[in-house]
């Protein structure tokens, strides 16, 4: 005849095992899962004061990981070395320990002050692949009733289930650690590739650029990089992002000149499913992708006036709507824009919105063309050759004659033209040594390609001779409302012209006989705060 007490215990064990298996299959939050398991053991399994200790592989002892009925602050420091107390005995021998009455066991330490010495105590190993990874300890609610062995088998089954959860948790932890290490390695590589090390030059002009990058990287200020094609505008944008507090956030790039206006809106703002023909699914735009990070918009001067108004709203409000959507989305994006166009002239011509110009031109950075920093040419050439050496898997060198040939050219295409020239020469060099005969550059127009040279010559022939310095000075003073003969510093002259021109830089440039680029440079170097009227 079946013992009623044994049948009742068996039913309780079945129900508890079912609930424990459900808990363990629900979540990968190992700590929270263990607390739920220990709670179930107490409520339905009548096994109180459940405790799980986990092996610390760094030191080889057991650290208390979860205790039902205590907060983590109350058991955080408790650890057991091999052979220390009943828990340490399980670690030492790897087997189950069952004590009918704790008061009869002198090796019991009761460090948690939790267990009743008049009741039994069970501690079983938690194993993963035959290796001990922890210990599960519980205390039956009642004195020993002769069914301690049945309870021990049940606790061993629970420990077995916990072991599988430990295995999964360890695998997830290792995967997360591996991914984190890979992510950090990639971040270091990207930061090195796109940081200051990838920007070459020790000329005064480049030192100014490096200092501007260091200063502006600290803040989420909008940056406008202005310069000729091939002067490294994208390298500057990369360096700003990867040296900023947003370096861990996304970095999204888009060339505005590469897309027609109808696609540009969708590309930047995203679209909803069915917003237009071909919109078969919802799609995030570049602004959303860059949320919390940086968005680099190259060739910003090529967007149409109609689209400029839409872009201005995003910059002013930090809000956008996807194409075909009614819901407004908030975005936190640091914008870096670049252009080779003269935006002041575009504003004057009505091709570029003045309000957008001021919104973009908060912090202008003007990388100099290569012809204005020829002292950097040897270092740039070496840097480019090192990169080409890696691509071709062989050493590449420049002879002194080749370096002289490079120095004779004006490089209207800037560093990009120089890179192309060196790559052609490297391809044609059988030995890896590049001599002057392999350096092929156009000689027209003092280093300018013939087409460019002829166009420049035609333009110069049609342009009236510039006024003398004295005449320009007098005209500037007259237009700025300054009495003749009054001596002013250059900073005062520029400020006076800006005030006379209503702080429109293009107009002030005309008053001073400068180009827009020159006055922008003066404003920057003279530390003049531009007022927005």
- Tell me if 353 is assigned to some domain: yes
- Tell me if 205 is assigned to some domain: no
Residue 399 confidence (pLDDT): 93
161 and 287 belong to one structural domain: no
Ranges of H-type helices in 243-304: 261-269, 286-289
Among 342, 365, 388, the domain boundary falls at 365
219 and 323 belong to one structural domain: yes
17 and 118 belong to one structural domain: yes
The per-residue pLDDT for range 356-412, each reduced to its tens digit, is: 999 999 999 999 999 999 999 999 999 999 999 999 999 999 999 999 999 999 999
Q: Are strands 47-56 and 61-67 parallel, antiparallel or unpaired?
A: antiparallel
pLDDT surpasses 90 at 527: no
Provide the 10 A C-beta neighbour count for residue 11: 10
- Tell me if 206 is assigned to some domain: no
Provide the 10 A C-beta neighbour count for residue 467: 12
Residue 188 confidence (pLDDT): 65
Token pair 């827009």: residue = 516
Give the pLDDT band (50/70/90) at residue 209: very high
Instruction: Please give, one letter per residue, the 3-state secondary structure of 379-394.
Output: HHHHHHHHHHHHHHCC
Backbone φ and ψ of 473, nearest 5°: -60, -45
169 and 140 belong to one structural domain: yes
Give the pLDDT band (50/70/90) at residue 445: very low
- Tell me if 185 is assigned to some domain: no
User: In whole angstroms, what is the distance from residue 523 CA to residue 265 CA?
Assistant: 34
In total, the chain counts a number of residues equal to: 533
Number of structural domains found in the chain: 4
- Tell me if 181 is assigned to some domain: no
- Tell me if 142 is assigned to some domain: yes
Q: What is the CATH number of the domain that holds 314?
A: 3.40.50.300
- Tell me if 531 is assigned to some domain: no
Among 434, 462, 490, the domain boundary falls at 462
393 and 482 belong to one structural domain: no
Residue 471 confidence (pLDDT): 40
248 and 124 belong to one structural domain: no
Residue 337 CA: distances (Å) to CA of 6, 8, 233, 289, 490: 77, 75, 9, 17, 29
**Which comes out higher in pLDDT, residue 128 or 101?**
101
Task: Fill in the DSSP letter of residue 353.
Answer: -
Across all residues in the chain, what is the average pLDDT? 83
User: In whole angstroms, what is the distance from residue 370 CA to residue 407 CA?
Assistant: 11
Among 174, 195, 230, the domain boundary falls at 174
- Please tell me which of 168-177, 185-194, 476-485 the model is most confident about, judged by mean pLDDT: 168-177
The answer to whether the beta carbons of residues 365 and 236 sit under 8 Å apart is yes
The per-residue pLDDT for range 27-79, each reduced to its tens digit, is: 667 778 888 899 999 988 889 999 999 888 888 899 888 888 787 776 767 88
CA nearest neighbour of 33 among 214, 119, 162: 162
Give the pLDDT band (50/70/90) at residue 520: confident
Q: What is the CATH number of the domain that holds 138?
A: 3.30.450.40
Q: What is the CATH number of the domain that holds 488?
A: 1.10.10
Residue 2 confidence (pLDDT): 53
CA nearest neighbour of 253 among 285, 286, 296: 296
pTM of model > 0.75 = no
344 and 400 belong to one structural domain: no
309 and 403 belong to one structural domain: no
> Which bin fits 451, alpha (ψ -120 to 50), beta or left (φ > 0)?
alpha
The answer to whether the beta carbons of residues 400 and 356 sit under 8 Å apart is no
Q: What is the CATH number of the domain that holds 421?
A: 1.10.8.60
Residue 294 confidence (pLDDT): 95
Give the pLDDT band (50/70/90) at residue 90: very high
The per-residue pLDDT for range 320-370, each reduced to its tens digit, is: 888 888 788 899 999 999 999 999 999 999 999 999 999 999 999 999 999
409 and 480 belong to one structural domain: no
User: In whole angstroms, what is the distance from residue 135 CA to residue 62 CA?
Assistant: 8
Domain that holds residue 37: 4-174
The per-residue pLDDT for range 447-491, each reduced to its tens digit, is: 444 333 433 343 334 333 433 333 434 434 443 343 343 635 788
**Which comes out higher in pLDDT, residue 504 or 235?**
235
433 and 378 belong to one structural domain: yes
- Tell me if 203 is assigned to some domain: no
359 and 383 belong to one structural domain: no
322 and 357 belong to one structural domain: yes
The SS3 assignment for 51 reads strand
């Amino acid at each position: 005849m079946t013992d009623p007490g044994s049948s009742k215990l068996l039913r309780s064990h079945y129900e508890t095992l079912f609930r424990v298996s459900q808990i363990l299959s629900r979540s990968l939050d190992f700590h929270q899962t263990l607390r739920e398991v220990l709670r179930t053991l107490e409520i339905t399994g009548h096994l109180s004061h459940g405790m799980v200790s986990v092996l610390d592989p760094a030191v080889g002892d057991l650290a208390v990981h979860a205790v039902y009925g205590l907060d983590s602050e109350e058991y955080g420091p408790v650890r057991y070395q091999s052979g220390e107390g009943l828990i340490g005995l399980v670690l030492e021998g790897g087997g189950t320990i069952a004590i009918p009455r704790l008061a009869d066991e002198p090796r019991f330490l009761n460090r948690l002050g939790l267990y009743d010495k008049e009741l039994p105590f069970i501690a079983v190993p938690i194993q993963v692949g035959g290796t001990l990874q922890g210990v599960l300890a519980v205390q039956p609610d009642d004195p020993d009733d002769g069914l301690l062995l049945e309870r021990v088998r049940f606790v061993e089954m629970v420990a077995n289930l916990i072991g599988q959860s430990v295995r999964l948790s360890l695998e997830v932890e290792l995967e997360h650690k591996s991914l984190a290490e890979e992510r950090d390695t990639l971040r270091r590589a990207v930061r090195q590739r796109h940081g200051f090390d990838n920007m070459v030059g020790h000329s005064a002009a480049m030192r100014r650029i490096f200092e501007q990058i260091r200063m502006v990287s600290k803040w989420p200020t909008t940056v406008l990089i202005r310069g000729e094609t091939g002067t490294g505008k994208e390298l500057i944008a990369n360096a700003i992002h990867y040296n900023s507090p947003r370096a861990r956030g996304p970095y999204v790039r888009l060339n505005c000149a590469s897309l027609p206006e109808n696609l540009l809106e969708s590309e930047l703002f995203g679209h909803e499913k069915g917003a237009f023909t071909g919109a078969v699914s919802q799609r995030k735009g570049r602004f959303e992708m860059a949320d919390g990070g940086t968005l680099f918009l190259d060739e910003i001067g090529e967007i149409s006036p109609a689209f400029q108004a839409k872009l201005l709203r995003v910059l002013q409000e930090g809000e956008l709507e996807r194409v075909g959507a009614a819901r407004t989305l908030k975005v936190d994006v640091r914008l870096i824009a670049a252009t080779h166009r003269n935006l002041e002239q575009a504003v004057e011509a009505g091709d570029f919105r003045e309000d957008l110009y001021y919104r973009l031109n908060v912090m202008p950075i003007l990388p100099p063309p290569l012809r204005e920093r020829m002292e950097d040419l040897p270092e740039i050439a070496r840097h480019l050759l090192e990169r080409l050496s890696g691509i071709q898997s062989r050493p590449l060198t420049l002879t002194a004659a080749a370096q002289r040939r490079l120095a004779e050219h004006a490089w209207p295409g800037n560093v990009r033209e120089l890179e192309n020239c060196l790559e052609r020469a490297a391809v044609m060099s059988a030995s890896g040594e590049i001599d002057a005969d392999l350096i092929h550059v156009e000689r027209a127009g003092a280093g300018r390609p013939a087409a460019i040279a002829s166009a420049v010559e035609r333009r110069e022939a049609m342009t009236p001779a510039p006024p003398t310095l004295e005449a320009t000075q007098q005209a500037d003073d007259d237009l700025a409302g300054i009495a003749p003969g009054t001596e002013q510093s250059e900073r005062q002259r520029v400020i006076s012209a800006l005030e006379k021109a209503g702080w429109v830089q293009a107009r002030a440039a005309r008053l001073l006989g400068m180009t827009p680029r020159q006055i922008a440079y003066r404003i920057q170097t003279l530390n003049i705060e531009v007022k927005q009227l």
